[in-house]
Protein backbone atom coordinates (compact mmCIF):
# COMPACT_ATOMS: atom_id res chain seq x y z
CA UNK A 1 0.00 0.00 0.00
CA UNK A 2 2.86 2.35 0.77
CA UNK A 3 5.59 2.63 -1.85
CA UNK A 4 8.82 1.00 -0.65
CA UNK A 5 10.88 4.13 -1.39
CA UNK A 6 8.79 6.13 1.10
CA UNK A 7 9.41 3.78 4.01
CA UNK A 8 12.91 2.55 3.14
CA UNK A 9 14.44 5.44 5.10
CA UNK A 10 13.13 3.89 8.36
CA UNK A 11 14.54 0.89 10.21
CA UNK A 12 12.11 -1.63 11.75
CA UNK A 13 12.08 0.15 15.14
CA UNK A 14 11.39 3.56 13.64
CA UNK A 15 8.67 2.17 11.38
CA UNK A 16 6.89 0.50 14.32
CA UNK A 17 6.99 3.77 16.29
CA UNK A 18 5.73 5.68 13.28
CA UNK A 19 2.80 3.30 12.80
CA UNK A 20 1.94 2.51 16.41
CA UNK A 21 2.98 5.76 18.06
CA UNK A 22 4.76 6.24 21.34
CA UNK A 23 3.48 4.37 24.36
CA UNK A 24 1.54 6.14 27.10
CA UNK A 25 3.89 4.96 29.83
CA UNK A 26 2.32 4.54 33.27
CA UNK A 27 5.13 4.10 35.80
CA UNK A 28 2.82 3.06 38.65
CA UNK A 29 1.27 0.37 36.46
CA UNK A 30 4.72 -0.96 35.62
CA UNK A 31 5.78 -0.85 39.29
CA UNK A 32 2.67 -2.86 40.20
CA UNK A 33 3.46 -5.49 37.56
CA UNK A 34 7.21 -6.00 37.78
CA UNK A 35 9.20 -8.89 39.22
CA UNK A 36 12.73 -8.71 40.60
CA UNK A 37 15.19 -11.59 40.61
CA UNK A 38 18.27 -10.95 42.73
CA UNK A 39 17.17 -7.38 43.40
CA UNK A 40 14.49 -5.89 45.63
CA UNK A 41 12.56 -2.67 45.16
CA UNK A 42 14.95 -1.11 47.71
CA UNK A 43 18.18 -2.14 45.92
CA UNK A 44 20.24 0.88 44.86
CA UNK A 45 20.21 -0.25 41.23
CA UNK A 46 16.40 -0.51 41.21
CA UNK A 47 15.91 2.88 42.89
CA UNK A 48 18.27 4.36 40.27
CA UNK A 49 16.50 2.48 37.47
CA UNK A 50 13.18 4.15 38.33
CA UNK A 51 14.79 7.58 38.67
CA UNK A 52 16.52 7.13 35.32
CA UNK A 53 13.56 5.93 33.30
CA UNK A 54 11.32 8.66 34.72
CA UNK A 55 13.71 11.13 33.07
CA UNK A 56 13.60 9.31 29.70
CA UNK A 57 12.02 10.91 26.66
CA UNK A 58 8.92 9.17 25.28
CA UNK A 59 11.01 7.69 22.45
CA UNK A 60 13.59 6.27 24.90
CA UNK A 61 10.77 4.75 26.97
CA UNK A 62 9.49 3.10 23.78
CA UNK A 63 13.00 1.80 23.05
CA UNK A 64 13.28 0.41 26.60
CA UNK A 65 9.96 -1.35 26.23
CA UNK A 66 10.98 -2.73 22.84
CA UNK A 67 14.39 -3.82 24.19
CA UNK A 68 12.79 -5.83 27.00
CA UNK A 69 9.48 -7.00 25.50
CA UNK A 70 10.01 -6.92 21.74
CA UNK A 71 7.27 -4.32 21.26
CA UNK A 72 7.16 -0.58 21.75
CA UNK A 73 3.46 -0.84 22.65
CA UNK A 74 1.89 -1.36 26.06
CA UNK A 75 -1.05 -3.80 26.07
CA UNK A 76 -4.49 -2.19 26.17
CA UNK A 77 -5.05 -3.58 29.68
CA UNK A 78 -1.70 -2.24 30.88
CA UNK A 79 1.39 -4.06 32.04
CA UNK A 80 -0.63 -6.78 33.81
CA UNK A 81 -1.55 -8.05 30.33
CA UNK A 82 2.04 -8.20 29.04
CA UNK A 83 2.59 -11.39 27.05
CA UNK A 84 5.69 -13.54 27.05
CA UNK A 85 6.61 -16.74 25.29
CA UNK A 86 4.29 -18.83 27.48
CA UNK A 87 1.40 -16.42 28.00
CA UNK A 88 1.09 -13.67 30.61
CA UNK A 89 4.56 -12.64 31.75
CA UNK A 90 5.44 -9.66 33.93
CA UNK A 91 8.24 -7.27 33.10
CA UNK A 92 11.26 -8.59 35.04
CA UNK A 93 14.57 -7.17 36.17
CA UNK A 94 17.17 -9.80 36.98
CA UNK A 95 20.49 -9.10 38.68
CA UNK A 96 23.33 -9.95 36.35
CA UNK A 97 26.24 -10.95 38.54
CA UNK A 98 29.42 -9.97 36.76
CA UNK A 99 32.69 -8.33 37.60
CA UNK A 100 32.83 -6.77 34.13
CA UNK A 101 31.20 -3.38 34.61
CA UNK A 102 31.54 -2.71 30.88
CA UNK A 103 28.79 -5.29 30.29
CA UNK A 104 25.60 -3.82 28.97
CA UNK A 105 22.12 -4.72 30.16
CA UNK A 106 20.60 -7.58 28.18
CA UNK A 107 17.00 -7.78 27.02
CA UNK A 108 15.29 -11.18 26.76
CA UNK A 109 12.16 -10.40 24.77
CA UNK A 110 10.73 -13.93 25.06
CA UNK A 111 10.59 -13.52 28.84
CA UNK A 112 10.13 -9.71 29.14
CA UNK A 113 13.34 -9.76 31.14
CA UNK A 114 16.05 -7.16 31.61
CA UNK A 115 19.34 -8.55 32.90
CA UNK A 116 20.83 -5.62 34.78
CA UNK A 117 24.44 -5.70 35.99
CA UNK A 118 25.09 -4.50 39.51
CA UNK A 119 26.56 -1.13 38.49
CA UNK A 120 28.21 0.84 41.34
CA UNK A 121 26.75 4.25 40.38
CA UNK A 122 23.57 5.71 38.92
CA UNK A 123 25.59 7.48 36.21
CA UNK A 124 27.11 4.23 34.94
CA UNK A 125 23.71 2.52 35.00
CA UNK A 126 22.15 5.36 33.01
CA UNK A 127 24.97 5.43 30.45
CA UNK A 128 24.93 1.65 29.88
CA UNK A 129 21.14 1.37 29.81
CA UNK A 130 20.75 4.19 27.28
CA UNK A 131 23.52 2.77 25.11
CA UNK A 132 21.93 -0.69 25.16
CA UNK A 133 18.39 0.41 24.29
CA UNK A 134 19.51 2.86 21.60
CA UNK A 135 22.08 0.63 19.90
CA UNK A 136 21.38 -3.04 20.57
CA UNK A 137 18.78 -5.05 18.74
CA UNK A 138 17.82 -8.63 19.47
CA UNK A 139 18.53 -11.23 22.11
CA UNK A 140 22.00 -10.99 23.59
CA UNK A 141 23.16 -8.31 21.19
CA UNK A 142 25.46 -6.42 23.51
8 A C-beta contact, residue 112 and residue 68: yes
- Mark whether 110 is an active-site residue: yes
CA distances from 54 to 30, 32, 49, 135 (A): 12, 15, 9, 20
37 sits in which H/E element: strand 34-37
Residues with Cβ within 8 Å of residue 117, at least 6 apart in sequence: 96, 98, 100, 101, 103, 104, 105, 128
**The one catalytic residue among 18, 20, 101, 110:** 110
User: Which residues are catalytically annotated?
Assistant: 110
Amino acid sequence: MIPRELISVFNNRELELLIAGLPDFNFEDLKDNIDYDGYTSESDQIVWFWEIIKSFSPSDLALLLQFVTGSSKIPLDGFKALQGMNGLQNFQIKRLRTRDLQRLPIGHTCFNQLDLPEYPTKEILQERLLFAIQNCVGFGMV
